[in-house]
Amino acid sequence: MARAGRVIQGLLRRQSVSGSRLFLATLAGLALLASSPALAAPQLRAQVRGELPAELRTRIETAIGASDRPVKNRFDARQRANAAAEEASAVLRSEGYYGSRVTPGVSDEGDGGAYITIVAGPLFRIAEPRIEWIEPEPAAELQALGRGELRLEPGQAGRAIDVVSAEARILSAIQKEGYADAFIGPREVIVDHADQTLRPTYRISAGSLVKLAALKVETTGGTRPDWLAALAPWGSGDLYTPGAVLDLEKRLVETGVYDQVSVSLAPPEEGDSDGLRPVVVTLTDRKPHRLEAGASYASSEGLGADMRWSHFNRFGYADTSAVFGRASTIDSRLGVEITLPHWRRLRQSLTGYAAVFNRETSAYDETGLELRADVERKRSDVAFLTAGAALEYTRTRERAAQPLVSVIERDQLIGSLLGALALDYTDDVLNPRTGWRVDVRGEPTVLTGGVTLSYFKASAQGSAYLPLDADRRTVIAGRVKAGSILGGTISGVPASRRFYAGGGGSVRGYVYQGIGPHLQDNTPRGGLSLVEVSGEVRRNLTPQWGIVAFVDAGAVGLSAEPDFVDLAVGVGLGVRYDLGFGPIRFDLAFPLDRRSDDPSYQIYVSIGQSF
């Protein structure tokens, strides 16, 4: 590890290293770090002696555990051996070896290490598993259901986990049939050393059938009872199931506006003669307001600052409303937003958005008003469908070749629809280390003002993350993005709606919008197609600090079909510091295909990984 660190430091001290060489040097350093052996491999706290099945030996060694601290003296070794013997005995009993013997000892050779000697003995097996029903006995059908959930065959290994799991399965199956008050009595397990058998007897009380009634809401907040009632996945008189109660609790937690959520069946004394019993919903609202602030920096894009003031559950629908603002060199805006969870159907949210904005880029200047409404449907925990509509009034100032470069001002009304699908199988939003994610979207658009034009803008992006070790300290990450504008022309599509590449969220090492066709005065022209590819090697050095080597590439074309005529590549390295909820990143990037007036490097600072 130390040698790898010296290699990296020596490479970075060479001021004449070019961008490509620096990238290769960083990759070499990361490879050394990834392949460096541990400084001191942990050793088992006590050696395991005796003839044992391989799987059983592995379980015992895992339970004993390892230590990188050497044995101090024979007293320390004796303590380790005794502790290991206790752990091993517990594993042996749990696996069905009730007649085993474990003897701790301390070696007289070498450093006097601890060891245990195991004689496993015979494997005890299941015999005559049965259920005793506590009065009153349930119907024959329910008794048959319980016996079916035993799943203990005479002669199978008498493992503790199997005995306990059978009890849990029986109770769960009974409760799913509407017997909410079912409970487990004292279990009896006879271990017979004479014939090496295990005879479990389960004592179960089914109780009476329970039907679900209306909600009983206990809260000091302003949540509307009628909205809560609509979330319940049952109707009055439906049989109780644990899944229905848990599902309602999950739906309320997903809204994010409560500090505590509890959904439970009312006690038996609150039920009526027909078996109907209310469900108690206890809600504790989170603090009604939250102020958030953020910042970012890039060499070509300058400093950006964001602020957001949120209000939770203002209207009693577990809603979130917010006022937000952003001030930056390129994009500044002020707006409001409201989100209604479980809007009109479960796991479907409505977001309304309105903002005034001002964009000042190398390609165009634009001010305007945007109104937008999106409906997001959560199909599962990893799949999201979005449909939306937007209306914008903009005033754009852009340059065009006609055939000489001239300035064009446009006042336009732009209407668009949105359809999007997102799949996210990663383990973390801000710092993914395994899995993959895909986002596909299409936007049919119509604009008026000087010229009337309709076109279809489509884009797709995917990224994947592959850990190289069990601890996920080294991760290979890749990203691909492609886009196309169909039915439009480069002169008809406003500059603000074209594709651009270059910058912190695109191809690092180049100025914002710096990749692709340019006008004669070097103004970025944008294009009707886009292709971007990125690759990263991420390596954690400590729980907080990490380093990254990356390469980005991208191209923008004047036609709807992507081309690679002006493919530009950037390389670099970065540092990551984990803030607990996600990393803050500092990237230094170098363009390999820079124009004569392009900067020789770019710096980017923001929160979260680049992709």
Instruction: Say yes or no to pLDDT of 95 above 60.
Output: yes
User: What pLDDT score does 479 carry?
Assistant: 98
Contact 65, 45 (CB under 8 A): yes
Question: How many Å apart are CA 598 and CA 180, to the nearest integer?
Answer: 71
What mean pLDDT value characterizes the chain?
89
Instruction: Say yes or no to pLDDT of 149 above 60.
Output: yes
Higher-scoring residue by pLDDT: 110, 535:
535
State the virtual CA torsion across 583, 586, 591, 592 in degrees, nearest 10.
-70
pLDDT tens digits along 99-135: 999 999 998 876 678 999 999 999 999 999 999 999 8
- Per the document, the length of the chain is 611
Q: Which CATH topology does 289-607 take?
A: Porin (2.40.160)
Tell me, yes or no, if the two domains 43-119 and 289-607 fold the same way.
Answer: no
For the chain, report the end-to-end CA distance as a whole number of angstroms: 28
- Which residues lie below 8 Å from residue 481, measured CB to CB, with a gap of 6+? 459, 460, 461, 462, 530, 531, 532, 533
Question: How many Å apart are CA 426 and CA 477, to the nearest integer?
Answer: 12
Contact 572, 588 (CB under 8 A): yes
- C-alpha R_g of the chain: 33
Question: How many Å apart are CA 328 and CA 360, to the nearest integer?
Answer: 9
User: What pLDDT score does 41 carry?
Assistant: 54
Instruction: Say yes or no to pLDDT of 299 above 90.
Output: no
Mean pLDDT for the stretch of residues 541-555: 95
> Crossing angle for the helix pair 74-94 and 160-176, nearest 10 degrees?
50
230, HSE (Cβ side, Cα atoms, 13 Å):
14
Mean pLDDT for the stretch of residues 459-463: 98
- Which residues lie below 8 Å from residue 119, measured CB to CB, with a gap of 6+? 50, 100, 101, 102
Q: Which of 238, 239, 237, 242 minimizes the C-alpha distance to 171? A: 242
Q: What is the DSSP letter of 137?
A: P
Q: How many CB atoms lie within 10 A of CB 477?
A: 20
User: What pLDDT score does 525 carry?
Assistant: 92
User: What pLDDT score does 5 carry?
Assistant: 41
pLDDT tens digits along 300-338: 778 899 999 999 999 999 999 999 999 998 999 999 999
Q: Which of 292-301, 396-405, 576-585 has the highest mean pLDDT?
A: 576-585
Q: How many CB atoms lie within 10 A of CB 40?
A: 9
26, HSE (Cβ side, Cα atoms, 13 Å):
26
> Crossing angle for the helix pair 19-35 and 2-12, nearest 10 degrees?
170
Which CATH superfamily does the domain covering 211-285 fall into?
A: membrane protein fhac (3.10.20.310)
User: What pLDDT score does 92 carry?
Assistant: 95
User: What pLDDT score does 24 carry?
Assistant: 55
251, HSE (Cβ side, Cα atoms, 13 Å):
25
pLDDT band at 33 (very low <50, low <70, confident <90, very high): very low
User: What pLDDT score does 8 carry?
Assistant: 36
Mean pLDDT for the stretch of residues 12-25: 45
pLDDT band at 25 (very low <50, low <70, confident <90, very high): low
* Domains of the chain by residue range: 2-35, 43-119, 125-205, 211-285, 289-607
383, HSE (Cβ side, Cα atoms, 13 Å):
2
Mean pLDDT for the stretch of residues 161-171: 94
Question: How many Å apart are CA 495 and CA 492, to the nearest integer?
Answer: 9
Main-chain phi, psi angles of 540, to 5 degrees = -85, 125
**What predicted TM-score, i.e. pTM, was given to this entire model?**
0.77
Mean pLDDT for the stretch of residues 202-223: 93
500 three-class SS = coil
Strand 383-401, strand 474-486: pairing:
unpaired
Instruction: Say yes or no to pLDDT of 14 above 50.
Output: no
Contact 111, 41 (CB under 8 A): no
Question: How many Å apart are CA 454 and CA 492, to the nearest integer?
Answer: 9
Question: How many Å apart are CA 314 and CA 481, to the nearest integer?
Answer: 39
Q: Report the share of the chain in percent with pLDDT over 70.
A: 92
CATH number of the structural domain 43-119? 3.10.20
**CATH 3.40.50.300, applies to 125-205:** no
User: What pLDDT score does 595 carry?
Assistant: 81
∠ Cα 581 589 361 (to 5°): 85
Question: How many Å apart are CA 418 and CA 42, to the nearest integer?
Answer: 55
Question: How many Å apart are CA 78 and CA 408, to the nearest integer?
Answer: 87
Question: How many Å apart are CA 476 and CA 186, to the nearest integer?
Answer: 52
∠ Cα 138 139 142 (to 5°): 85
pLDDT tens digits along 342-369: 999 999 999 999 999 999 998 999 999 9
Token couple for 576: 């990551």
Residue reference for tokens 């406003």:
494
pLDDT tens digits along 367-399: 999 999 999 999 988 999 999 999 999 999 987
Question: How many Å apart are CA 309 and CA 283, to the nearest integer?
Answer: 23
Identity (one letter) of the amino acid at 526? G
